[in-house]
Structure 1
Amino acid sequence: MSVTRAWVRAAHPVPVMVVTAWTACLAVSVGHSAASGALVTLAVLTGQLSVGWLNDLVDAARDARAGRACKPVAQGRLARATVAAMVLGSAVSAAALTALCGRAAALAHLLALLSAWVYDLGVKATAWSVLPYLVSFGLLPGVVTFALPGAPAPPVWLVVSGALLGCAAHFVNTLPDLADDARVGVRGLPHRLGAAGSSVAAALTLLGSALALAAAPRLGGELRLLALAALLTAALAAVVGLLWLGVRGGGARLAFPTVLLVAALEMGLLLTAGTSVGAAG
């Protein structure tokens, strides 16, 4: 594994790319200019890098005991002191970039990052493990809208959709590692619910996210009906698949791509329809 590849893998690239892409799509949807949209997206990207690297740094000992060869920090391919420096550097960069977007956006981003860091630092092993996902993903729309002129608040439906999507991601991301995590002492909410319970929870939160976005009263645009049909069809298919997984077991690694698909379609809906933000939300 090359050094560059090790750094990319340690950052948890898929979640980083999804959150960054979702931010970019939302920035376009709410009317950011190219410059301001790029700034807020870059701020979120650097913040996500700090979260991913911190996760691998904190979990290095547990990952080594579990024999996870895909974890560069646990395998000694990246020095822990260097990773710690990168966590700090990316966090400071994220804070500085968001500060350029205004105080409200900077505060929302800081709270979202604090929530994610708290998860990495221990909440992931408790019954409250889903709460940081709920908070961080719920705050993400605010990071984007507060960066607009006048710092308008995000509409409630967008906050709900983001928060529920984050919850679904937490449940399905944990499914493949339930047994390994249990052996090293991680007992988050998905572990306590088990594979079946986590599959049901993921299905319900994923459907809720899609419905919150689909029912948005101020989401318009000529392609809205087509985008809505694609989103709801994919969401319902994902729900059926997750529920089947919960009943029959197996195929846990297919669960995360279902959430990615729905997230991608939500991005498409935001891009094609556009979003109005402001006091009336």
Structure 2
Amino acid sequence: MNQTFQARSLSAAPPSPAPVPAEAAARAGGLGRGALALLLSAHPAPALAVTVLITVLGVAAGRDVLGSCLVALAVLTGQLSVGWSNDRIDLARDTAAHRRDKPLVAGEVGMRSVSVAACAALLLCAPLSLANGAAAGGAHLIGVAAAWSYNLGVKRTRWSWLPYALAFGLLPAFLTLALPGHPWPAAWVMAAGALLGVGAHFTNVLPDIDADLAAGVRGLPQRQGRRRSRTVAALALLAASAALVLGPPGPPDATGWSGLAVTGALAVVLCLPPGTSPDSRLPFLATLGLAGTDIALLVARGTSLV
């Protein structure tokens, strides 16, 4: 009887919640930090900036809601794959340069994780790009392949500017070839994209020229030196802006001239000395400002890309 009573008492008692071990909480926190480190290894700021700018341009070109979402996803996965592959391929060089700002160098994320993430993003990019159509998707994938070729070794040659020119120059084609009739973009649009890519390349390399030379990386900006590279970047970006304002049929309006004045001022910023730090990111931020102004010009004028 006592055994029966005890059994009933035990069955009637509400179960007490199991305490969460401190080890499990620490593990969860570690996973969160690891995920953040993995994300930072993909260079998320420029990846997001490029994705937003191209998506906005896609809307201006006439892509519908579904098409714009496909553009955003394709561009984002492509950019993430390029960013992750860059940090993974450059691990030895970044370690030698004591780049503790890199999560891989700091040991905050593993090599295998970054490699898997880069490959997974690339595998996702392929069907997302082709979902925009075979021609449009092919144009985007050629651009992504060009960016990977840069990471894999072209950046060490005097042709380091070419993958940037090809990738950026083909982005308008990625947008227009998915439209009815699959038209190619106007020549001035593709020229502006290629010039933007060249300017972005020279600008992005500026803070790391000395470290690159020490590591044996001798792309065209490294061969030209910091001062000449700053001038080339400014001229390329200003030429891109001029193509966007002066290229469309008809005379530019006040908005076009104002945009050209703004981009001219930003180009001047690129030519100025970096101040107290040679590692200043101001030129790169000016590049993003130039690109944003160019997209705003297209949207404000309602200019067709074809």
TM-score (norm 1): 0.91
> Is 2:300 aligned against 1:269?
no
Gaps of 5+ in 1: none
Deviations 1:185-230 (A, max 9, x none): 111111100011101100110111100111132589xxx7454234
SS in 2 for 1:245: coil
Structure of higher RCO (CA pairs closer than 8 Å, 6+ residues apart) = 1
Taking every aligned residue pair, what percent have the same amino acid on both sides? 42
Residue type of the alignment partner of 2:285: P
User: 1:167 matched to which residue of 2?
Assistant: 198
User: 1:190 matched to which residue of 2?
Assistant: 221
User: 1:45 matched to which residue of 2?
Assistant: 76
Number of residue-to-residue matches in the alignment: 275
> Is 2:135 aligned against 1:104?
yes
Change (3 A) 1:226 1:93: farther
> Is 2:233 aligned against 1:202?
yes
Deviation at 1:251, TM superposition (A): 7.2
Change (3 A) 1:54 1:232: same
Deviation at 1:112, TM superposition (A): 0.4
Residue type of the alignment partner of 1:228: G
Kindly indicate whether the alpha-carbon contact (under 8 Å) linking 1:199 and 1:245 is maintained by their aligned counterparts in 2.
Answer: no
> Is 2:260 aligned against 1:240?
no
The CA distance in 2 between the partners of 1:225 and 1:73, in whole Å, is 49
Change (3 A) 1:231 1:7: farther
Kindly indicate whether the alpha-carbon contact (under 8 Å) linking 2:245 and 2:257 is maintained by their aligned counterparts in 1.
Answer: no
Deviation at 1:266, TM superposition (A): 1.2
> Is 2:163 aligned against 1:135?
no
User: 1:6 matched to which residue of 2?
Assistant: 37
Q: 1:181 aligns with which of 212, 220, 224?
A: 212
Change (3 A) 1:210 1:249: farther
Deviation at 1:103, TM superposition (A): 0.6
Deviations 1:83-118 (A, max 9, x none): 111111111111101111111011101110110000
> Is 2:293 aligned against 1:254?
no
Deviation at 1:250, TM superposition (A): 4.9
Kindly indicate whether the alpha-carbon contact (under 8 Å) linking 1:219 and 1:275 is maintained by their aligned counterparts in 2.
Answer: no
Runs of 4+ residues over 3 Å off in structure 1: 224-227, 248-252
Give the stretch that moved more between structures: 108-117 or 180-189. Answer: 180-189
Give the stretch that moved more between structures: 225-234 or 24-33. Answer: 225-234
Deviation at 1:147, TM superposition (A): 1.6
Tell me how large the CA RMSD over aligned residues is: 2.2
Question: Of the two, which has the highest radius of gyration?
Answer: 2
